[in-house]
Structure 1
Amino acid sequence: MGGDLPDDPCAAGRRFPGVKEKIARIFLRFLESVPLPALASFCEWVMLLVHFVDRKHRRIARINLGIAFPEMGDAEADRIIRACYRQMGTSAAEFVHIPKMDAAYIREHFRIEGVEYTRESLEGRNQPAMVMTGHFGNWELLSHVYGKVIAPAAFIVRPLKSGILDRIVTERRECAGNTVIRKADSAKEVTKVLRKRILVGILIDQNVDRHKGILADFFTRKAYTTFGIARLALAMNAAIHPGFIFRDPARKFHHVLRFGPPLQIDPGAPRDEEVARVTRRCNEELEKAIREAPDQWMWFHRRWKTRPVGEPEIYEGLQ
């Protein structure tokens, strides 16, 4: 794995259209100069302060943990929630340092398992392929490492509200030669990319409206889940591989990228039934990863927000 890498691919195309962006970039360069362990410690401390004052998201996380693990005690739930905030700080520091994560750094800090599955789909069978994942571990590094030492990939994102922040974050996301696909343009662009046999990463773990998904089992309660990845797979005869990044609990800055074999898809089955079945399988793979390392998933999202007509609101008062 690997190849020739530009000295600083994240610097390509940087622009300074205004004073605010200049200040933001100067501050970012300062953060980049802080050693990763020190920056991570600071970011973790900040996020633990946020944990202390952020009552709303603590409540959402407790509700979610109660749905996923009804047998879990309060002490364990509180431990997981604190660990989630702490990991957000560590992940933010790592994201700042992405330009420094070259092939040598990756070889030392990352282990990659199962990449032969995606290669077999893309190269062995010459088949379009997607990776289903979630907001799990430091998911930003999943795409960065894949693009840096395996092959450039593409992934779908929702643009950030701040144009300045969105440009800066996009530069980092595209450091390794990856392509960011805006959610609003995703259908047409994803189709183009898949036809080029470029791996596409899709996050499937967020709540969707009724018309954008189907009810599928997720832990102890059904959750509206995007059917987009299943529809794409059937329309393009594309493979869907589970792919997650796990942080090593014993070594903070070490990670394991784990890819699985393609989900079984039956193109001859009734379309709606197969879309529903594949969507359920995606949730099963996500749930399996979360059960393995529950403190590495983002419990702060209102995952079970959309309910069938007539069902009571789960997150009442937490809009």
Structure 2
Amino acid sequence: MTHLPKFSAALLHPRYWLTWFGVGLLWLLIQLPYPLLYRLGCGLGHLAHRFMKRRVRITHRNLELCFPEMSEPERQVLLKKNFESVGMGLIETGMAWFWSDKRMARWFDVAGTGMEPVHQLQAQKTGVLLIGIHFLTLEIGARMFGMQAPGIGVYRPNDNPVIDLLQTWGRMRSNKQMIDRKDLKGMIRALKNGEVLWYAPDHDYGRRSSVFVPFFAVDQAATTTGTWMLAKMSKAAVVPFVPRRKPDGKGYELIMLEPEYSPPIHDAETTARWMNGVIEKCIMLAPEQYMWLHRRFKTRPEGMPSRY
């Protein structure tokens, strides 16, 4: 597990000055009232839509692959709303890292099943595999959940040591530990110890340790076998949740879905197919807020052409 990184003088090297300046600017920015931050974030998203042409193309292609029945005008509307969410994601990262608990608590509520099932599992010392999908509200969602039920986050250490320090510090403000996504043994140990483990199985992590199963209208999407291994070896309950941004700057809701106490673990493909169905359900609760700008379908079966 990763303990809180320590600040060192090496992080003040000139090569990191621009990073520190950007973080300082973000810190100043998030002192503004939330309704103003909401408008500002949407505005940044409009700029991103205009200038991030490659990501716009990837987003459009993903929407085209997943929702072939959607008309092109509908797809364009969803794409533009999605980039508003991209802009808000930057603002929400600053909010998640730097806002006080008191200020955070003012702007969200818990919906769906509520936190009671999770608290009951914690009381029983049963591990909780918390399915935290890659929404653009990811950072603020982890903070909101951690304020209700502190747990352990799975992450990829950032190549920039300043960002790595700040993101780990920010995420551990309301959680216990961070663990490298490659540390499977550490994850299983945490779950067996009755911890809540935040885990995101919805990205394309490459051919190794993946199976090809349907995801929306894509019949062969590379999907991690990690869910199967974690659920099978830990006997944890699987709990999906969705951190959804309310419209018009009205804050957030943490939507807790029904826990699955006995997930299907017959084989890796069965679990992956089931997990993708859960992820689809979650995404459709806020499709404009999902991280469509990554190449979800970059890995293809042997000999198949690229989807991009």
**Taking structure 1 as reference, are residues 283 and 22 closer, same or farther at Cα in structure 2, changes over 3 Å only?**
closer
> Aligned in 2, Cα 1:207/1:314: closer, same or farther, shift over 3 Å?
same
1:12 Cα deviation (Å)? 10
In 1, Cα distance between the equivalents of 2:306 and 2:134? 24
Aligned ranges for residues 127-142 of structure 1 at < 5 Å?
127-142=126-141
Contact 1:112-1:257 at 8 Å conserved across structures: yes
Higher mean Cα deviation, 79-88 or 189-198? 189-198
CA contact (8 A) 1:307 1:313 kept: yes
**Pair 1:81 & 2:79 matched:** yes
Once the two structures are TM-superposed, the CA of residue 183 in structure 1 deviates from its matched residue by 2.2
Select the residue among 184, 189, 212 that pairs with 1:187: 184
What one-letter code is carried by the residue in structure 2 that aligns with 1:116? E
1:306 corresponds to: 299
Aligned to 2:271: 278
Q: Over the residues paired in the alignment, what is the CA RMSD in angstroms?
A: 2.5
* CA deviation vs aligned residue, 1:23-76 (integer Å, no higher than 9, x gap): 455434423433333334333322311211222111111111111111111211
Q: How far apart are the structure 2 equivalents of 1:63 and 1:225?
A: 18
Equivalent runs, 1:123-162 vs 2, <5 Å: 123-124=123-124, 126-148=125-147, 150-162=148-160
Question: What SS does structure 2 have at the residue aligned with 1:300?
Answer: coil
What's the secondary structure of 2:69's corresponding residue? coil
Give the deviation of 1:190 after TM superposition.
1.2
Query: TM-score, structure 1 length as denominator?
Result: 0.84
Q: Please name the residue that 2:201 is paired with.
A: 204
What one-letter code is carried by the residue in structure 1 that aligns with 2:294? H
Alignment of 1:37-186 (within 5 A): 37-98=35-96, 99-103=98-102, 105-106=104-105, 108-114=107-113, 115-124=115-124, 126-148=125-147, 150-184=148-182, 186=183
SS of corresponding position for 1:208: coil
C-alpha distance in 1 between matches for 2:27 and 2:223 = 39
Residues 1:237 and 1:205: Cα distance change in structure 2 (over 3 Å): same
Shift of 1:296: 1.4
Task: Tell me, yes or no, if the aligned pair for 2:6 and 2:165 is still in contact at 8 Å.
Answer: no
SS of structure 1 residue aligned to 2:239: strand
Matches within 5 A, 1:256-267: 256-262=254-260, 264-265=262-263
Unaligned runs of 5+ in 2: none
C-alpha spacing 1:74/1:132, structure 2 compared with 1 (3 Å): same
- Alpha-carbon offset, residue 291 of structure 1: 2.4
Structure 1 segments of 4+ aligned residues over 6 angstroms from their partners: none
Structure-2 change in CA distance of 1:29 and 1:307 (3 Å) = closer
Write the letter of the residue equivalent to 2:118: T
C-alpha distance in 2 between matches for 1:177 and 1:134: 17
Aligned residue for 2:134, secondary structure, equals coil
CA positional deviation for 1:283: 0.5
Deviation at residue 252 of structure 1 after TM alignment: 4.0
1:255 CA drift (Å): 2.2
Task: Decide whether the 8 Å contact of 2:107 with 2:250 is kept in 1.
Answer: no
Unmatched segments (≥5 aa) in structure 1: 1-10
Aligned residues: 297
Query: In 2, are the aligned partners of 1:132 and 1:242 still within 8 Å (CA)?
Result: yes
* Structure 2 SS opposite 1:201: strand
For 1:231, the equivalent position in structure 2 comes to 229
Task: Describe the SS at the equivalent of 1:310.
Answer: coil
Please report the TM-score for the alignment, with normalisation by the length of structure 2. 0.86
1:18 correspondence with 2:12? yes
Cα 1:242–1:77, aligned 2, differ >3 Å: closer, same or farther?
Answer: same
Identity in percent:
24
Q: Alignment partner of 1:312: what SS?
A: coil
**Among 282, 286, 289, the residue aligned to 1:289:** 282
